[in-house]
Structure 1
Amino acid sequence: MAAGTGASEPVTGDTTSEVPGSPAGSPVSPRSGATPGPGRSPLVMVGVPVAAVVAAVLVSVCVGSSPSTVPEAWHAIFTPTGTDMDVTIRELRWPRTLVGIAAGACLGVAGILTQGHTRNAVAEPGLLGINQGAALAIVSATFLFGALPVHAQAGLAFVGALIAGVVVFAVGTAARNGATPITLVLSGAAVTALCGGLVTGLVLLDSASLDTLRFWQVGSLAARPHTLEAIWPFAVAGLVLAVLNIGALNTLALGEDAARSLGTSVPIARCAGIVAITLLAGSAVTMAGPIAFAGLLVPHIARALVGADYRRSVPAAAAFGICLVLVADTAGRVIARPGELSVGVVLAVIGAPFFVLLARRRRLVTV
């Protein structure tokens, strides 16, 4: 996905500046880098995301080919007796709901960090080569060793995503000015193109690699069981780093010169952000495959509700990432029953028109 970046602007005195990618006119205090808020009450800014997550979880657990009530869902999860509905909820719906919660939170936070560090409102984690790195790892292993089990594909996806993120950051920091938004975007585009070319070449040479890639590229919450048990420490580490990175993001939104004047170490802030993005996006890819558009859509939804202050928008992005992934997964189960559409397909149908609309809004694209 091609994306442009904006140049940082110096801030002097006690003036205010607008956060790139935020709603027009969102003032930022140069001392703290935090917006005073979009005029909404704390109850709305906290209550709406929490209520949305609860509703999405209930819908994911209760809605399917055989609908269930909330008491039935509670009974199936906490006091099962072995009925057909208990088995359906406990063995099928509840595990994929947990994966959706984890993957959605990771994608939402990774998306808002990516847009913040690249200062690009149409950026998403795939811009840093993470998805293509995961695909290359899976396809390469299949090409060399033959068809692989699902858990092996998940492990390879995580390793490939991590390596791609490290390479992007290494290339970006090797530039004369260090890891700036421009160098990160350019190095991410280069790594993505390289990995994509290698993947294409391998799948053309080997039909087993093509079959594996075709299965893996359909993002789904159901196709990769038990990955959450192995990957959650990395997801938690990414979330912790993201929280620690919030203050730096607020000051970096004013421009690198202003951030330095406020005591922010720009290289350390960039490094922490890229590591967090890599861990979060790599965890999401491992658990659910390459789910497109979630990392692009969620940051805009979060900023529209709570404003551009990352102290509010990062938690909101986690909440709305969960909602978007769970609702899309549930919609896929309902629309195509008795079969199902994968969550990746549903989000692509939703996200493509949104991206076109976003691209037409010049103020957001040229941040």
Structure 2
Amino acid sequence: MNTTTEASSASRPQLRTRPVIAVMILIGGLAALALGLATSISVGAADIRLQTVWEALFRFNPDLTQHQIIWELRLPRALAGAMVGVGFAVSGAIMQGMTRNPLADPGLLGINAGAGFVLALCFAFFPQLPFSQLILFSFIGAAIGTGLVYGVGSVAKGGLSPVRLALAGAAVSALLLALSEGVAIYFKISQDLAFWYAGGVSGTKWMQVRIMWPWIAGGVIGALLLSRSITVLSLGDEIAAGLGQRTGLVKLAGALLTLVMAGASVSAVGAIGFIGLVIPHVSRALVGVDYRWIIPCSAVLGGLLMVLADIGARMIHPPFETPIGALIALIGVPFFLYLARRERRTL
């Protein structure tokens, strides 16, 4: 009996997890996120005290200009930034877990570029399209970009590998970017598209927040429900199938969740990359390889990174704003080069 039990336990993959650290990250991260949101609301062309922010949130007075600034401009911007960070980070965590590819990221695998190309077509042919429909076209573009990347990467001899997939993503993204710029030049929408490609939450309104939050919230809830299956899948398709998992169904569900969250995020703030690359790696290094902890920690840290980047964008060169995508790229590009070099050594 003991021999059978030992053999059974030996056949199960052992997962290295740090639940205590994960709980600390969640509690501390949420507290830091709340403080970051308050700071984001108070910082800007018109500096507002934190006490005024508190009063505006809980005792709103429409006759006060600062209260109007907080409710109509600062608060939706801060909330949108946090939601976008959550969407990109959780999308990246799902992609890395399902594909076992450390270079997987919505920006690197064509999702951002695909969404951008379709949005450029929408700006050109349907300039009055409401945001509620624009977000659906963003989903379609994200799916097209991802399909092209996997199609191109699969043609290579030897099949897909992390580096080949990243190279295919770079090639497809460059193609879609060139097509988007061609559409922008021909239809004279370059300024609108340039603002979108720079990335940022400036000008975000409550309407965008109301439309975006159900998609992001639903995607995160779905990712949490799927997290155990993603953990098993991250061990390899053969092990997952041996444990009775329907790998094809899990991958389809994960792909849909990724497209929903990344598509909603891209449609709202533009092509901001590397959040989905960096944050899941940080979470995995801190809490271990169990995606039941990686996904919620990625959500909290992703939202925090985006909020801090938005604060930095307003403080570097006031009263002008630095593109958020450029700030995050300062972290993401060196991190990507490090990962690519490490993966090359394993080929």
User: Residue 223 of structure 1 corresponds to which residue in structure 2?
Assistant: 203
Q: d(CA) in 2 for partners of 1:276 and 1:166?
A: 15
Q: d(CA) in 2 for partners of 1:310 and 1:56?
A: 26
1:320 to 276, 280, 301: 301
Q: Partner of 2:104: helix, strand, or coil?
A: coil
Q: How far does the alpha carbon of each residue in 1:201-251 deviate from its partner, in whole angstroms, 9 at most, with x for none? A: 3234x1513233212212111234221212322222322221222111111
Are residue 297 (structure 1) and residue 268 (structure 2) matched? no
Q: d(CA) in 1 for partners of 2:170 and 2:225?
A: 27
1:73–1:143 CA distance, 2 compared to 1 (3 A): closer
Q: Is the 8 A contact 1:335 1:341 kept in 2?
A: yes
1:277–1:41 CA distance, 2 compared to 1 (3 A): closer
Q: CA deviation at 1:34?
A: 4.1
Once superposed, what is the RMSD of the aligned Cα atoms?
3.3
> Following superposition of structure 1 onto structure 2, how do residues 1-367 of structure 1 map, counting pairs within 5 Å?
14-15=9-10, 30=13, 34-37=15-18, 40-41=20-21, 43-81=23-61, 82-144=63-125, 148=127, 152=130, 155-156=133-134, 158-165=136-143, 168=146, 185=165, 192=173, 194-204=175-185, 206=186, 208-225=188-205, 226-360=207-341, 362=342, 366=346
1:241–1:315 CA distance, 2 compared to 1 (3 A): same
Q: How far does the alpha carbon of each residue in 1:31-89 deviate from its partner, in whole angstroms, 9 at most, with x for none? A: xx743328x54652432222222222222122333433332211012212232322222
Q: d(CA) in 2 for partners of 1:365 and 1:88?
A: 52
Gaps of 5+ in 1: 1-11, 17-28
Q: CA deviation at 1:195?
A: 2.8
Q: CA deviation at 1:90?
A: 1.9
After TM superposition, the score normalised by the length of structure 2 is 0.83
Q: How far does the alpha carbon of each residue in 1:249-299 deviate from its partner, in whole angstroms, 9 at most, with x for none? A: 111121111001111111001101100100000011122111122111211
Q: d(CA) in 1 for partners of 2:211 and 2:17?
A: 40
* Identity %, equivalent residues: 32
1:123–1:308 CA distance, 2 compared to 1 (3 A): same
Q: Is the 8 A contact 1:129 1:188 kept in 2?
A: yes
Gaps of 5+ in 2: 1-6
Look up the equivalent residue of 2:86 and give its one-letter code: A
Look up the equivalent residue of 1:119 and give its one-letter code: R
Number of aligned residue pairs: 333
4+ runs of 1 displaced by more than 6 Å?
none
Q: How far does the alpha carbon of each residue in 1:4-46 deviate from its partner, in whole angstroms, 9 at most, with x for none? A: xxxxxxxx97558xxxxxxxxxxxx52xx743328x5465243
1:363–1:15 CA distance, 2 compared to 1 (3 A): farther
1:278–1:166 CA distance, 2 compared to 1 (3 A): same
Q: Is the 8 A contact 1:138 1:156 kept in 2?
A: yes
